[in-house]
Amino acid sequence: MKNVAIVGGTGYGALELIRFIEGHDYLKLTQIISQSQEGHLLEEMYPHLATYIDAPLEAFDFIKIRDKIDIVFFATPAGVTKEMLPQFLDSPIQCIDLSGDLRLSNPSDYEKWYGGKPASQNLLDNAVYGLSEIYPNEIQGAHICSNPGCYSTASLLGMIPAVQNDLIDTSSIIIDGKTGVSGAGRKTSIMTHFSETNENVKPYKIGKHQHIPEIEQYLSKEANQSVVINMTTHLIPMTRGLLCTMYGRLNQSINVQEVHEIYQKFYQSHPFVRVRNLESYPATKEVYGSNYCDIGVYIDERTRQLVVISAIDNLVKGAAGQAIQNANLMNGWPVDLGLRQIPVFP
């Protein structure tokens, strides 16, 4: 049994971490840290957690963490872990960072897409990228794990089989993303105001989404060449769910059965990626509350475009679920420990 702390304990990422840790055989939630709500009970803010969490929220205190905690999940906004994590480098504590601070290996990319000073090179060098299905070996035994962004997870799982197998012209990739509102967190804004979000579809952060360089970094790595993508993201009137529709021009005379077989083989040993049957395509409700990434493939014969569609629950496979999956990998536990939950449907 490992003792777990969550830093940033009042956001939606933390809520999902708590939900999955509760059902995990080897993880014990020992401490929840929130600078802003120190001393309060989490149930004051979230009555649905009554009976689950007794201890009050605590301020961050490295000494206290060092003495009793084995694994820390950082469910913090961008900009926090780059300051907090250096002191963990010399400790044996496993750190899993759900924020974007350690995702970009090139510091100047961080400055450009996130703004502000990037994490130190030393910290970046010590972090592995936690895209569980793609980098399981790197993650196993890792000390610091940088959990991928939600769009990055859906996009990379959808496109890596294609670029690794050189199926498409990598200069032609277009990603059209749709996400529910919970991705914006609990901070209130007009963007997340019910009256203006309900019955509405709107694009946002066009060409500026901070997951773009993250996707490019790992597509480039897997394609063995520099990949630049065009991604447009849209806000959808639902709480959870993220669907990416991805387009790439085929550069060989492959048919859809062959592409489908490539995808199936690619993910055959990975329980959380479900390649849909041919002519069946993912829907976000079919992964609701679960750690699955469902992927469907289609070839538009008229334009010779490959269309790949992937769906995740942005708060689970796109955040807390994958973080637990990485904790499993880091510790050599079964990858689906605590995560084998059927999607909540309907």
Residues 160-219 that bind its own copies (CB under 8 A): 171-172, 174, 176, 178, 180-182, 184, 186, 188-190, 192-203, 206-207
Interaction of residue 52 with its own copies, rule CB under 8 A: yes
Interaction of residue 237 with its own copies, rule CB under 8 A: yes
Name which of 262 and 306 has its Cβ closer to its own copies: 306
Cis peptide before 92 (omega within 30 of 0): no
Q: How far is the CB of 325 from its own copies (least distance, A)?
A: 16
Q: How far is the CB of 29 from its own copies (least distance, A)?
A: 11
Name which of 63 and 190 has its Cβ closer to its own copies: 190
Interaction of residue 54 with its own copies, rule CB under 8 A: no
Distance CA 219, CA 189 (A): 33
> Phi and psi (nearest 5°) for 67?
-80, -25
Q: Is the dihedral of CA 245, 247, 253, 259 positive or negative?
A: negative
Would you say 315 and 291 are in contact if contact means Cβ atoms under 8 Å apart? no
Q: Which of residues 283-322 bind its own copies (CB under 8 A)?
A: 283-290, 292, 294, 296, 298, 300-303, 305, 307, 309, 311
Helix 150-164 to helix 212-223 angle (10° resolution) is 20
Name which of 224 and 277 has its Cβ closer to its own copies: 277
Name which of 59 and 206 has its Cβ closer to its own copies: 206
Q: How far is the CB of 21 from its own copies (least distance, A)?
A: 10
3-state secondary structure (DSSP) of residue 200: coil
Q: How far is the CB of 107 from its own copies (least distance, A)?
A: 19
Name which of 89 and 174 has its Cβ closer to its own copies: 174
Q: How far is the CB of 272 from its own copies (least distance, A)?
A: 10
CA dihedral (288, 294, 300, 306) in degrees, to 10, reads: 130
> DSSP label at 58?
B
Which residue out of 95, 145, 150, 293 is catalytically annotated?
Answer: 150
Distance CA 294, CA 283 (A): 8
Q: Which of residues 63-102 bind its own copies (CB under 8 A)?
A: none
Interaction of residue 8 with its own copies, rule CB under 8 A: no
Distance CA 296, CA 182 (A): 24
Distance CA 231, CA 71 (A): 34
Q: Is the dihedral of CA 311, 274, 162, 221 positive or negative?
A: positive
Please say if 293 is a catalytic residue. no
| Stretch of 110-118, 122-130, 150-158, 269-277 lying at the interface with its own copies (CB under 8 A) | 269-277
- Report the catalytic residues: 150
